Amino acid sequence: MLRMTEPETIAIDKELQLDWDLYRDVPDAIVQEEGLLLDYFRKLKFIYLEQETKLRFLADLQDDPETGLEPQILSTADVAHREQECKRVKQQLVEAKTRVRHLRTAIDSIAHAMEEPCDALDAEVAQAARLLTDITDMELELAKTKAAERTHGAMTTTEAEAVCDDQILAMQAIDDETTRTMQDVEAARKELAESVRTLDRLKAERAAAEKLANDARLGMGRDRGRDWELERLCAKHTSTLESLEHALGIVQMTAPNANELHIIIARPTAKRARRRSTRKSTAAEEEGEHRTLVLRFQEPGGPLASMELWDADSTTPVAMDQELVQLTKQAIHTNHAAAIVQAVWRSYT
C-alpha cells in the first residue's frame, strides 16, 4: 500500500517550503516551479510504484524467513477481486485528479478576476497612505499655528457666525467690484468698437484724400504731372480774393465759435495810411480807425441770426445810423453777409 506523508511532516520539512517573497516579486516563477514539481512527482510516483510492485511480487513468491510465512498463492477469484479493487482505487484517483484540475481552473479564473481589484486596492492603499501623511502634516501645521497665535480649542458658535458674516460681506463686496469691473470692461469694449469704426472711417477718408491728391499731382500737365491750368485758376482766385479783401477793407477774420464770425474792417483812411507805411497803419489801428463786425449765425453754415459792430478797443456795440441799420436788416433778411460788410465799410466814408 502507498504510504502517505503526514501534513505535520511536510510543514516541518523546510526543503518543501516555498519562497513566497520571491514569487511575490516574480509571479511567473511559481508557474515554472509548479511545472517542475509536477514533473518530479510524476517521475517519483512511477519509480515508487515500480519498486513497491517488485517488492510485493518477490514477497509473494518467496518465503519470509523472519516471520516464517509461506508464499501466498492467489486464486483466480483473488486476482479478480484485486483487479476490481485496483480499478476502484484508480477511478478514485482519476476523480481526485479531475477535482484538482477543476479547482486549479477555478483558482486561475479567480486570480485573473482579482488582478484588477488588487491593483485598485494597492492604489487606494497608497492614496490612503498619502492622505494620512498629509493629514498628519496638516495637524502638525495646525498645532504650530495654534501655538504661534496662542489659540486654544475651537471657536464658539457666536464667533463662527461672526466669521461667516464677515466672509459673506467680503464676498458681496468682491461680487459688487466684479460687477463694476465687468461694466467698465463692457463700456471700454463699446468705446473701443466706436474708436475702431472712427478709425476705419478716417482711414477711408484719408485714402480718398490721398487718391485725390495723387490725381491732382498726376494731372494733365507736363512738368512731372503738374496741372498748370489748375494752378493758374488757383492763383487767379487767390488774387481775386485778395483784391476783394483790400477793396472791402477786411484786415482779419476769426471764428471764436462755430456760430460766430468776427471781421475786422479798417477805415478807408486807415487803409490808405497802411499802404503808405506799416508804422502809420499800426498807429492808426491803435487810435481806433478800425472796427469789428460780429456776425452770428443760427447754425454753422446756416442763415444769419444777428450782427453787431464793436469798437476797436472794446466789445461794446457801437451805435449805428438809421441807414446802416436798414441795410443790415435787409442783408440779414436776404442772408447776404457780403452786403453787410460792404454797408459797414461804406458807413466809414
Model confidence over 191-224: pLDDT tens digits?
999 999 999 999 998 888 888 777 766 654 445 5
3-state secondary structure of 267: coil
Q: Is the pTM of this model over 0.75?
A: no
Amino acid residing at 19:
D
Q: What is the pLDDT of residue 189?
A: 92
Q: How confident is the model at residue 124 (pLDDT cuts 50, 70, 90)?
A: very high
φ, ψ of residue 69 in degrees (nearest 5): -80, 145
Query: CB under 8 Å to 280, separation ≥6 — which residues?
Result: 273, 274
Distance separating alpha carbons of residues 204 and 38, to the nearest angstrom: 95
In this structure, of 3-7, 45-49, 241-245, the range with the lowest mean pLDDT score is 3-7
In this structure, of 59-73, 248-262, 296-310, the range with the lowest mean pLDDT score is 59-73
